[in-house]
Amino acid sequence: MPVRGIRGATTISQDTETEVLEATVEILEEIRVANPSLQPEDIASAFFTVTSDIRSAFPARAAEKNGWRNVPRICAQEIPVEGSTPYCIRVLLLWNTDLRQDEIRHIYIKGARNLRPDLIESQT
């Protein structure tokens, strides 16, 4: 079975633990809805990154609220590129699935919609 990547991103309005965790739960749920066959036991791992202006919480903690207790997760900081989207949380899920790459739905919401407009069009 191949491993496929699912990408997603969202933004928060301010750096608080509540906002980080709620936004992460939301993006993970949006990804699950867009990819209905996605099950926690099929996720090989989850990578979360945040921009340097987010320091209040690890987004990977929110995955437990989605029932992903046994999914290996890690957080990292994005490269601080000037002009990049502020207060941004990104996720990359490695998913064991037989779906083709063009059948995977990547989700970008809120202020992160501008990151990958080419993938936003495929969300419809």
| 87 among annotated binding-site residues | no
String of DSSP letters for 87-102: SEEEEEEEEE-SS-GG
Q: How many CA atoms lie within 13 A of 101 on its CB side?
A: 5
| 73 among annotated binding-site residues | no
| 7 among annotated binding-site residues | yes
User: How far is the C-alpha of 2 from the C-alpha of 102, rounded, in Å?
Assistant: 13
Give one word for 67, left, alpha or beta, with left for phi > 0 and alpha for psi -120 to 50. left
Q: Which residues belong to the annotated binding site?
A: 7, 90, 108
Q: Which residues belong to the annotated binding site for prephenate?
A: 7, 90, 108
